[in-house]
Amino acid sequence: MADNGVQQLNQAELLAQMAELQAEVRKLTELSTQNSSGKHEGNSSKSSTQGNSDPLIVTPPKEKLTLDNPFSEEITNFKMPKNFVLPNSLEPYKGIGDPRAHVKKFQSMMFFNGTNNEPILCRSFPTYLDGAALLWFSKLSAGSISSFEDLARSFIDYFAASRIYVHGSDYLGTIKQGQHESLKDYLTRFAEATMKIPDLDPNVHLHALKTGLRPGKFRETIAITKPKTLEEFRERAAGQMEIEELREAQKPDRPPTRKEEERTFKPMSRKDQKKPFKLTPKFDTYTKFNTKRENIIKEILHAKIVKPPARAGSYQDQ
Say whether both 181 and 150 belong to one domain: no
Predicted TM-score of the model (pTM): 0.41
Say whether both 180 and 108 belong to one domain: no
The 8-class DSSP code of residue 306 comes to S
Does residue 128 have a pLDDT over 60? yes
CA distance 152 to 25: 74
Say whether both 150 and 208 belong to one domain: no
Does some domain include residue 291? no
Q: What pLDDT was estimated at residue 1?
A: 45
Q: Please write the tens of the pLDDT for every residue from 12-52.
A: 677 677 777 777 777 777 777 766 655 555 555 554 445 55
Alpha carbon of residue 272 to chain centroid:
55
Say whether both 186 and 241 belong to one domain: yes
Does some domain include residue 34? no
Say whether both 227 and 153 belong to one domain: no
| Domain final position from 210, 225, 250 | 250
Does residue 264 have a pLDDT over 60? no
Q: What pLDDT was estimated at residue 39?
A: 53
- Say which CATH number the domain at 176 has: 1.10.1200
Does some domain include residue 106? yes
Q: Which domain covers residue 237, as residue numbers?
A: 169-250
Phi, psi of 145 (to 5 degrees): -110, 120
Give the count of domains, the chain.
Answer: 2
> What's the whole-number mean pLDDT along residues 90-95?
89
SS3 content of the chain, % helix, strand, coil (to 5): 55, 0, 40
| Domain final position from 250, 279, 298 | 250
> What's the whole-number mean pLDDT along residues 265-272?
59
CA distances from 149 to 44, 108, 186, 298 (A): 51, 15, 39, 107
**Average predicted confidence (pLDDT) for the chain:** 77
Does some domain include residue 299? no
Does some domain include residue 47? no
| Domain final position from 250, 284, 311 | 250
Say whether both 140 and 185 belong to one domain: no
Say whether both 205 and 141 belong to one domain: no
CA distance 122 to 194: 31
Does some domain include residue 11? no
Does some domain include residue 274? no
The 8-class DSSP code of residue 129 comes to B
